[in-house]
Amino acid sequence: MRKLTLFLASNAGLGYAPFASGTFGTLAGIPVFYLTGEWPWWLYMITMTALLFLSFWVADAAGQIYGVADDGRIVIDELMGYLVTVAFLPWSWSAALIGFFWFRLFDILKPPPAGWLDKNFKHGVGVVLDDFAAGLYAAIALRLTLWAFNLG
């Protein structure tokens, strides 16, 4: 169970990148977006909800294994935040890459409430929710970008 937890927490090992593990961890979202981009909204919602609760548990369990609640190798939260960013959009390379850019920017900047969540909740829920909040900002920026440049 420990190996499976760490495998999931690291997005299949991407979290073990020697630098920018969050950026590498976010890359896992692109193929997931590709696979889910044409799903009906209700199936996407069910899947996202299940993934959200799974990510809470996995991030918490991995934090306990590592001894650090928000260890850099835990990047399942980046997957969740990226999927919030691209939620309900049809797959396209422009949405995938621009969404990646916006999510990484907001995940690094952590505008409120993301920064507050990051500082005040040091367990699985907090680890994931700050990325979820960054994903909401990135979702807005992505949609505005797609609209402004007539890409969507």
pLDDT of residue 152: 67
Q: Residue 25 burial (CB < 10 Å; 0-12/13-18/19+)?
A: buried
How many whole angstroms separate alpha carbon 117 and alpha carbon 126? Answer: 6
Answer whether the bond into residue 113 is a cis peptide, omega within 30°. yes
What pLDDT was estimated at residue 61? Answer: 97
pTM over 0.85: yes
- Please report the pLDDT score of residue 24 as a whole number: 97
Pick from 52, 41, 45: nearest CA to 90: 41
Give, for all 152 residues of the chain, the pLDDT tens digit: 999 999 999 999 999 999 999 999 999 999 999 999 999 999 999 999 999 999 999 999 999 999 998 899 999 999 999 999 999 999 999 999 999 999 999 999 999 988 888 788 778 999 999 999 999 999 999 999 999 999 96
